Structure formats: structure tokens, C-alpha cells
Amino acid sequence: MGLKNNDRYTEKYKKIMNEKILYTYRLYFTGGITIAIWSLLVCTHYNGGVQSHHLLHREELPAISNWWSGLLIPLLSWFLLYRVQKRIVHNKCEEPQLPKQFGNIIAGFNAALCYGVLIAIFFTYQFTSIPGFMLLGILLIAFLYPIHQSECILGFILGMTVTFGAFIPTLVACIFSLIGFLIYRFVRPASSFIIFKISPVFLRNKENRSNQLISRLVESMFSHSAFIYVFNDKPVNFLMDPTRKFIAKHL
């Protein structure tokens, strides 16, 4: 009983320590990103003014000021990093495994950040068709990687914030993360089942039907009496019999 209580205490202690470590990281990151976004807004305000962006880049639609970024970015950072923290704790990650977990999270965050930055750069330099293709490419990436994870959403939004503000990237990220979730959780397993389970059976049945058709064709071609001779008082077709053996071996 004493050992069990000690094990429970140790596990609970590690869980609390992990949560404290993750909470500290979340606090530092949110504080740093808040200082950065407000510094950017203040500098922009005193150098030409803070911009506003129309929804869907159409002037007839409402314009959203970049001042909203000062509120959205800290809230999104705090909330999304909280989801990351809960995912790590829920996976019961031990202390030696934390660096690996952090590495995977940082890799997903950096990849999404670079992707968002590239979209913003192409849009800024008037390569308007490339961002559209890149947004569609997100749906293809969703088949291979869970883009709906919180670190990917946060990185994507931060990568586009300087160019578009925070509101429009947040809206785009919500839409594509929902679609990505459906693709990764439902469409991807269904596609894998069709490719690896149903397709081999279908191809095998199709192959058997093709072999049967070829055999019938060979019989119709070589069943003429001119190809038959008598061996040990038994009729033998010297073309059709070897052809059947060849089909059985190679087809």
C-alpha cells in the first residue's frame, strides 16, 4: 500500500510539475507576443497610421482595423497554448519525453508560421494567384499532417498578421482548420481503407476475370482439330495446353 501511494504521489507530482513548466512557457510566450504586436501597432500608428483590411479584399465589404490585432493575438496565443498544454498533459508525457514533444510542437508551429509568411509575401508583391493555390494546398497537407492542431493555427495566424492584421487570418485559419480536421479524421481513414482494403480485392477479381477471358480466347483460337494429335491413345492439343500453363504461371 505504501509503495502504491508513493507511486501515485510521484505521478501526481510529475503531472503538476509538467503543468507548471508548460504554464510558465505559455505565460512567457503570450507576454512576448503581446509586447511585439503592440510595439508594431504603435510604430505603425506613428508612421502613416494603422491600416484596415476589407473582407475578401473587396471594398464593398466591411473593413477591419489592425488595432484588433492587439486584442486578438494575446487572447489567441493564451487560448491555443492552453490547448497545447492540455494535450501534452493528457498524453501523460514524462519529463524525459518533454523535449521530443516540444520538438514536434515547435516544428509544426514553425512550418505553419513560414507558410503564412510566404502567403503574405506573395500577396504583398502582387503574386495574387500563388496565395490561392497555397490555400488549396493546405487541404492536401491535411491528408498528411493534422493542421487543425493549435500550434499550427497559431503559427499560421502570426505569419500573416503583419500583412493582413489578425482578424482575417483568424477567420481563414478557423475555416481551414475545420476542413482539415474533417479530412484528417474522416476522409483520410476512409481513403486509406478504400486503397488498401477494397482496391486489392477489386483488382484481384478483375485480374481473374481477365485471365478467364484470355483462356477462353485461347481455346477458341487453338481448339481446331489441326492442332490435335494422338499420344498414348489420348488426344493432345500441342498449342493450347502449353498456352494454358503459361497463362496460369504468368497471369
Per-residue pLDDT tens digits for 65-104: 889 999 999 999 999 999 998 888 776 555 555 567 778 8
| Chain Cα centroid distance, residue 22 | 25
Q: Is 95 in the same domain as 217?
A: no
Q: Is 92 in the same domain as 123?
A: yes
- Please state the rounded mean pLDDT for residues 141-152: 92
> Is the entire prediction scored with pTM above 0.75?
no
Q: Is 186 in the same domain as 205?
A: no
Query: What confidence category does residue 63 fall into, taking pLDDT thresholds of 50, 70 and 90?
Result: confident
Q: Is 148 in the same domain as 50?
A: yes
Alpha helices in the chain (DSSP H): 2-45, 69-90, 98-124, 129-141, 150-164, 167-182, 188-193, 199-222, 240-250
Cα distance from N-terminal residue to C-terminal residue, the chain: 67
In Å, how far are 63, 165, 174 from 149, measured between CA atoms? 29, 21, 11
Per-residue pLDDT tens digits for 157-203: 999 998 888 999 999 999 999 999 999 998 888 877 676 665 555 54
Q: Is 144 in the same domain as 201?
A: no
Q: d(Cα 144, Cα 141) in Å, to the nearest integer?
A: 5
Q: Is 101 in the same domain as 20?
A: yes
pLDDT at 92: 58
Whether residue 149 is predicted with pLDDT greater than 90 in this model: the reply is: yes
Number of domains in the chain: 2
Look up the domain containing 222 and give its range. 194-250
Q: Is 44 in the same domain as 167?
A: yes
Q: Is 20 in the same domain as 132?
A: yes
Q: d(Cα 155, Cα 114) in Å, to the nearest integer?
A: 8
Q: Is 188 in the same domain as 210?
A: no
